[in-house]
């Protein structure tokens, strides 16, 4: 349909121009931060959150979040602290320098939004907001469909693709020995009451795994 192409072009042009304007704002204000780092600062906000929460908010792996926070710590924008109650939990928060960067970023967004909507009447903005809310809801539903999760969270009959194997080296070697690694395609055949999950590999081989072990297999749903 022609309108699909037009909508796609509008979104692409908007994103391109918006990020170009953010680049200019960064160069004029916070020269040492990248777009990605600025959005991580935004995801942290003014509260102290766990590294797990941060990785979930950004939809990235814990390893990627750790590398990013290490760089922000080196630049003086963030800091980490281990919980006194649960030593397994690590909290991340902004330094005063990070809070100033967040304030600068928020003020920029308010200014740019006010500027690009100043010559649009309220009625048109109301229509735009209602339409965009529907688009956003559709995107959110689609994102849930594509969001990586443990294979044990998917229902019987789901076709999935492996993106990560977690667990100890022994657990990872176990899965590798059974031909399960990144990009392996699987179908969930059955989930048994004795906490077993039955999988079918692309070549037709059937694997029966302990559900506790299977939780280490992180997958995304395959369409079709």
Q: 169 and 138, same structural domain?
A: no
pLDDT beyond 90 at 78: yes
Of 118, 145, 172, the domain-final residue: 145
Return the structure tokens found at 196.
């077993």
For residue 121, the model assigns a pLDDT of 95
The whole domain housing 93 covers 2-145
Mean pLDDT across the stretch 83-91?
Answer: 84
What tens digit of pLDDT does each residue of 153-209 get? 888 998 999 988 888 888 888 888 888 988 899 999 998 876 889 999 988 999 998
Q: 139 and 176, same structural domain?
A: no
Q: 70 and 22, same structural domain?
A: yes
Q: 132 and 29, same structural domain?
A: yes
**CATH number for the domain including 40?**
1.10.10.10
What tens digit of pLDDT does each residue of 180-195 get? 988 899 999 998 876 8
CA dist., res. 31 & res. 37, Å (int): 12
**CATH number for the domain including 170?**
2.30.30.90
Q: 174 and 67, same structural domain?
A: no
pTM of the shown model: 0.59
Q: 27 and 129, same structural domain?
A: yes
For residue 223, the model assigns a pLDDT of 67
Count how many domains the chain has: 2
């Amino acid at each position: 349909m022609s309108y699909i192409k037009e909508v796609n072009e509008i979104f692409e042009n908007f994103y391109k121009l918006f990020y170009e304007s953010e680049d200019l704002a960064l160069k004029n204000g916070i020269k040492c931060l990248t777009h990605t780092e600025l959005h991580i600062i935004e995801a942290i906000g003014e509260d102290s959150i766990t590294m797990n929460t941060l990785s979930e908010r950004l939809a990235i792996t814990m390893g990627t979040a750790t590398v990013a926070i290490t760089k922000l710590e080196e630049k003086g924008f963030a800091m980490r602290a281990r919980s006194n109650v649960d030593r397994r939990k690590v909290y991340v928060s902004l330094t005063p320098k990070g809070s100033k960067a967040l304030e600068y970023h928020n003020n920029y967004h308010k200014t740019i939004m006010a500027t690009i909507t100043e010559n649009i009447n309220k009625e048109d903005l109301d229509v735009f907001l209602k339409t965009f809310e529907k688009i956003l809801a559709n995107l959110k539903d689609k994102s849930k469909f594509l969001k990586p999760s443990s294979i044990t969270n998917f229902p019987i009959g789901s076709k999935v693709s492996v993106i990560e194997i977690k667990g100890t080296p022994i657990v990872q070697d176990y899965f590798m020995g059974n031909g399960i690694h990144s990009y392996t395609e699987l179908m969930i055949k059955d989930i048994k009451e004795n906490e077993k999950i039955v999988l079918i590999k692309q070549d037709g081989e059937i694997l029966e795994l302990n559900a506790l072990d299977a939780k280490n297999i992180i997958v995304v749903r395959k369409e079709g």
